[in-house]
């Protein structure tokens, strides 16, 4: 198919895992992946148009650049496993968002198909651990990988149940002792 060929063209959404994977009798693997219907030259930011299910028409394409990896050994991506408190975890979430290019809350919500962007804003300003589902949407909205989410989930589980910003109570000896 040449670049001038007519008819629908599709591109696979970046960083998605196929679903419903099966093997046919010839040994070929088949799976379902989300695709984007494209009208115009693929890869051209100014002329390409993509199908918008919300608007039910083709709209100008907004190709977002992928977040590049750090240089080997630089290790600038925030590591959630270093959080020892809920407040540190929230600060690492804020740093992770900055590391991913500081997308607006609306862009983050659009990436995961959520109507309200306020939940991301509230979570990053809160003194409480976000819900697990919000954490999942947060990492996905910042184009995190499954390995990234695994680290965030492990850190979340380690902190789940901690109360925010309260001093620890130390048991005091009774007056009789």
Residue 131 confidence (pLDDT) above 60: yes
Residue 70 confidence (pLDDT) above 70: no
Question: What pLDDT sits at residue 147?
Answer: 87
Q: Give the whole-number percent of the chain exceeding pLDDT 70.
A: 59
- Find the length of the chain: 177
User: What average pLDDT does the structure give for the chain?
Assistant: 75
Residue 15 confidence (pLDDT) above 70: no
Question: What pLDDT sits at residue 87?
Answer: 93
Question: What pLDDT sits at residue 48?
Answer: 59
pTM of the model: 0.54
Residue 19 confidence (pLDDT) above 70: yes
């Amino acid at each position: 198919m040449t670049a001038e060929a007519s008819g629908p063209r599709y591109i696979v959404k970046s960083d998605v895992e196929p679903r419903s994977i099966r093997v046919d009798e010839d040994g070929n693997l088949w799976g379902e992946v989300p695709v984007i219907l494209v009208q115009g030259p693929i890869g051209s930011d100014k002329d390409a148009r993509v199908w918008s299910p919300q608007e039910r028409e083709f709209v100008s394409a907004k190709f977002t650049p992928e977040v590049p990896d750090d240089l080997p050994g630089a290790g600038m991506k925030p590591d959630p496993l270093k959080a020892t408190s809920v407040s540190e975890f929230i600060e690492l979430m804020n740093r992770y968002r900055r590391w991913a290019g500081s997308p607006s809350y609306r862009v983050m919500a659009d990436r995961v198909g959520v109507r309200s962007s306020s939940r991301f804003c509230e979570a990053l300003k809160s003194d409480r651990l976000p819900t697990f589902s919000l954490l999942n949407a947060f990492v996905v909205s910042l184009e995190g990988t499954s390995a990234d989410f695994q680290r965030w989930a492990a850190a979340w589980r380690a902190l789940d149940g901690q109360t925010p910003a309260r001093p620890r109570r130390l048991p005091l000896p009774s007056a009789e002792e």
